[in-house]
């Protein structure tokens, strides 16, 4: 089976809209290979060459003075492109981060590098809204929903948020979480224990429901997707 390489990516910025001159000030990335965190991360702070909105500072705590001696984006562009390669990007609210990074490449005259065209992008916010319609789907809300420990997230940080999102994404799409290649699934912060097993149904008073055919078909499609993404296939098909 071909190796599946994904990069969970997050940014922090000087404000909310790159079209109004705001810039990227932090990039954090976490590598997944075949749904396992490899420990290969990318993290950089950047000098935005402009002031940072007060509201943004309240979110991430990064000030203009703190970033004054950090590199400019043009100094790290090649390293970032090399790290990302052709991996699928996993991003929460992808248009925000991709829009900012594409703009950074435009600013340095490298319009040919546009993440929106060069890399497939999976937006976990869109996925969460599909899976949890009508519910809050912020990263904090998803951490709570899927049991991912975000107690260290007093302020937003690109690498921390990418690490949290990696755990959330793996839980959302198959129940597997952190950390490294060769590490057993379920051993991380979001899923401690010996992993999935058979459920003892003896003595349970189970209710049988008539499920519409279209719902069954949709469920099977989701299991097919998990079979493709998970080395051992969908747990529901292994534990039935």
Q: What residues are annotated to the active site?
A: 156
Which residues face 155 on adjacent strands?
A: none
Please give the Cα distance from 89 to 92 (Å, whole number): 10
Neighbour count for residue 110 (Cβ, 10 Å): 14
Q: Which two structure tokens, joined as six digits, stand for 151?
A: 């107690």
């Amino acid at each position: 089976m071909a190796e599946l390489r994904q990069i969970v990516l997050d940014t922090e910025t000087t404000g909310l809209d790159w079209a109004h001159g705001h810039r990227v000030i932090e990039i954090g990335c976490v590598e997944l290979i075949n749904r396992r965190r490899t420990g290969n991360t990318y993290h950089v702070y950047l000098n935005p060459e402009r002031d940072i909105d007060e509201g943004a500072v309240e979110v991430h705590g990064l000030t203009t003075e703190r970033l004054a001696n950090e590199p400019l984006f043009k100094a790290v562009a090649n390293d970032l492109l090399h790290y990302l390669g052709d991996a699928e990007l996993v991003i929460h609210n992808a248009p925000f981060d991709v829009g900012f990074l594409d703009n950074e490449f435009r600013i340095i005259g490298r319009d040919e590098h546009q993440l929106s065209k060069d890399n497939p992008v999976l937006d976990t916010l869109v996925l969460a809204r599909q899976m949890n319609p009508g519910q809050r789907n912020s990263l904090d809300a998803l951490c709570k929903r899927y049991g991912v420990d975000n107690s260290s997230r007093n302020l937003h940080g690109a690498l921390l948020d990418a690490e949290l999102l990696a755990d959330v994404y793996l839980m959302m799409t198959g129940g597997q979480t952190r950390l490294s290649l060769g590490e057993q699934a379920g051993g991380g912060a979001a899923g401690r224990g010996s992993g999935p097993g058979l459920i003892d149904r003896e003595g349970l008073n189970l209710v049988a429901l008539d499920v519409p055919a279209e719902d069954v078909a949709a469920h099977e499609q989701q299991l097919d997707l998990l079979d493709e993404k998970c080395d051992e296939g969908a747990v529901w098909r292994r534990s039935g």
